[in-house]
Amino acid sequence: MRRRLPFLLFTLLWANHGQATGEKGNSKPDHRAVLISGGRPEYPYEARRRRITGSGVVLMHIDHATGNVTSCEMALSTGNEMLDEAAMSAMRQWRFKPGPVMAKCPITFTMSGQGNQVFTEYQVKEKPMGDALAAFLGKGAVEKGPIPAYPRSVPWTTKQGTGRYELHVRKDGRVSEVRVLKRSGDDIFDRTTVETLRQWRFRRGPLILELPLSFALTPTHYSVAIPKGR
């Protein structure tokens, strides 16, 4: 039994590891808002010098029509005013896809201990893969469905493509084979997608599932989607 998935169902947006002098700060925005642009928070020099660390949550108020952040507040303080202000100062400049009126972003400032590099990471996900496929396979049909993540071990450049992949699911719900029916135009994405889809688990089988996936990559963002009209 072959299933086709013709509608846009999910978007996954990643920000690549950026590098600058300093220590380490990690942040992940709330899954209900799609980040379009936004610089990483700076680790204040004085906080780094004094080896001050902390974790908190920034609440951003967003203009519904433009997606611009109108104001920020600490829903949960990092425990240090310098770190709080650094986080809010950066996120006041963020811009989201118009629609949501607020978003929460957990943030952590931590000393890396690995030289003068700072790594920041943002992640936005609209819905898990299982939810995205529920309309076609039934609720709860996907037991395990990780989304292909473009590797950070290679330089991120601007590229995009669309591929089509065929999953062969055994009676026990495990994926026995993944075939590339149409290459995306990027060998790294195709290889990553095949490796990821082999990890999927379904609650029922046997099944042959044809899955189109498109990706878009920039030096700072990565998105995966099931394209429209496929």
Calculated CA dihedral for residues 108, 109, 113, 117, nearest 10 degrees: 100
Give domain limits for the chain.
2-12+128-225, 18-120
For domain 2-12+128-225, the CATH architecture is: 2-Layer Sandwich (3.30)
How much is the mean pLDDT over the chain? 75
- Once rounded to an integer, what is the mean pLDDT over residues 111-121? 42
Show the CA angle centred on residue 81, arms to residues 88 and 19, nearest 5°.
55
Q: Two tokens at 226?
A: 């099931």
**Residue type present at position 180:** V
Q: Is the CATH number of domain 18-120 3.30.2420.10? A: yes
Question: What's this model's pTM, rounded to 2 decimal places?
Answer: 0.49
Q: Two tokens at 119?
A: 């790594």
Confidence of residue 183 (pLDDT cuts 50, 70, 90): very high
Query: Of 32-36, 49-53, 125-129, 212-216, which has the strongest mean pLDDT?
Result: 212-216
Predicted pLDDT of residue 130 = 63
The per-residue pLDDT for range 15-48, each reduced to its tens digit, is 333 333 334 455 554 445 677 877 778 888 888 8
| 90 DSSP 8-state letter | H
- Determine the Cα–Cα distance for residues 96 and 115; give it in Å rounded to an integer: 33
pLDDT at residue 229 tops 70:
no
**E strand or H helix that includes residue 161:** strand 159-169
Whether 71 and 88 have beta carbons less than 8 Å apart is answered as no
pLDDT at residue 162 tops 50:
yes
Query: 18-120: same fold as 2-12+128-225?
Result: yes
Lowest average pLDDT, out of 7-11, 34-38, 161-165, 207-211, goes to 7-11
Predicted pLDDT of residue 190 = 96
The per-residue pLDDT for range 149-161, each reduced to its tens digit, is 888 777 888 899 9
Predicted pLDDT of residue 128 = 58
